[in-house]
Structure 1
């Protein structure tokens, strides 16, 4: 996917996923059928408070947590901050994954069984397999295989499901009202399907403008997340710095592409060989003053 640089939580569980949920250590209290699993949004889509860190002891990802005084502050302003890395000198990086086309069950197993911390930025059309999938990693096998059930499993494994719009447009080409429709609309869908309302936003292609930040704020986003490196097919890291290496606080961007299970295994092994830990992004953002 071309990038233009410029720029949790058990959800409601279907009967078919009950066994998986219990094995993953999810809480068993649920909302009535069709109702939200947690306090959510008003009828106009305005955000309500969203609980964080709801996994019990021994469940969820075992990501590195910030040490006292480790993380620098991210300057707060009237609009959500735009963040491409976390201000830390510790050798820790953060894994994020976008869209939702290729729903490989092996990836969920890796995240759950190895307790790998990831943050998911879901795009509705990709999750629901509407349109043309990203085949840049090869021939796809699992496009839309589980739809939102797949993302409920990721949430049950400890991965926050955040916002990547409804249809993946270039937001710079849209007015603020249209951008708000994309962002707020995606949050409503995720809240309904997962049971937790997103608080982080990733603009498609990394493209945003002032109207994007205004819309993101109106839709309850606390931060706009970019990245410092992308992960290409084969687990290859494509850096955006001249020295072509990992740096403390890097945010890495993956996509739900073919061969994800294999590529993810290669990536995690590569990061650890280089002496880096995988961090809990939400905990680090909180330590940096982003709520």
Structure 2
């Protein structure tokens, strides 16, 4: 893993998180939360039905001195990160695409104060074209589109970039990759009020052109993962001992039965003694 210099987009959206961090010196997973900077409350039913959440970002925040530093990238391009350097039993939940817009998932994120980073693909959010095979059969495909993602943001989730059409980026030249990444950042800003700071390349495939294009689009880092979550909330590990490790980044998708599978997953993580971390706050600490 490598690191680079954070841009102003990251600093702006992390200001609220670190104001809370200065006050609290570290919290358990369900103690704080608020929408990201730049995101106002909407009057949609799913957003207005819940009580006003407590102040501060959702999820566990890093304690002073807890997080190790990631080395800076020698080429000045956005770093590629797979996990967070910490010994604390904390993991991070991320979810990709945006096809299955399950109201039960949104309610859990909002009501249980669960920290989530959502990496959105335009075609998935807007239900354009052929539905991804893993999302086919869902009850809520494209049900709310950008309104749903706005409510998810207002529930405390961070909204990040996963391209317009979900291509294999390494098959594209620089201009093609830039169009996919910048186009998504512009779209997210138009609908949700701010540009994303993180980018996840489809399939995890990337090259130097990807990082160059991402930098030109205002992206601060590429985020991969250490484990994936399968139907039924089953965790598929990428390590031989098949166990969660401190700092793991878990990858979910907006697919059928999301609400049920998400509940199973969160309960499983907590039974194993892990907290759910605020990814924004931890990456800020790791890349200081």
- What does the per-residue CA deviation read over 1:83-121, in whole Å, with 9 as the maximum and x for residues that have no partner? 000000110000000000000001000000000000000
Distance 2:92 2:135 in 1: 21
- What does the per-residue CA deviation read over 1:219-270, in whole Å, with 9 as the maximum and x for residues that have no partner? 1111100000000000000001111110000000000000000000000000
* Mapping of residues 159-198 of structure 1, within 5 Å: 159-198=157-196
Change (3 A) 1:270 1:139: same
* Mapping of residues 242-261 of structure 1, within 5 Å: 242-261=240-259
Of 57, 82, 85, which residue of structure 1 is paired with 2:83? 85
Distance 1:23 1:65 in 2: 24
Aligned residues: 251
C-alpha deviation, 1:75, in angstroms = 1.6
Change (3 A) 1:128 1:261: same
* Mapping of residues 1-291 of structure 1, within 5 Å: 8-9=36-37, 11=39, 15=43, 17=44, 20-21=47-48, 23=50, 25=52, 58-59=54-55, 62-77=58-73, 78-136=76-134, 139-289=137-287
Change (3 A) 1:19 1:84: closer
Change (3 A) 1:60 1:117: farther
- What does the per-residue CA deviation read over 1:124-167, in whole Å, with 9 as the maximum and x for residues that have no partner? 00000002223436721000000000000000001111000000
3-state DSSP class of the match of 1:287? Answer: helix
C-alpha deviation, 1:196, in angstroms = 1.4
- What does the per-residue CA deviation read over 1:22-62, in whole Å, with 9 as the maximum and x for residues that have no partner? 7453xxxxxxxxxxxxxxxxxxxxxxxxxxxxxxx714653
Judge which range, 281-290 or 88-97, deviates more.
Answer: 281-290
For the 8 Å contact 1:101–1:129, the answer to whether it is kept is yes
Change (3 A) 1:195 1:253: same
C-alpha deviation, 1:289, in angstroms = 1.4
Distance 2:57 2:40 in 1: 19
Distance 1:175 1:198 in 2: 22
- What does the per-residue CA deviation read over 1:163-208, in whole Å, with 9 as the maximum and x for residues that have no partner? 0000000000000111001000000000000111100000000000
Change (3 A) 1:12 1:20: same
| Structure 2: gaps of 5 or more residues | 1-35
Change (3 A) 1:80 1:91: same
Distance 1:178 1:24 in 2: 44
Higher percent of residues as helix: 2
For the 8 Å contact 2:99–2:125, the answer to whether it is kept is yes
TM-score where L is the length of structure 1: 0.82
- Pairwise CA RMSD: 1.8
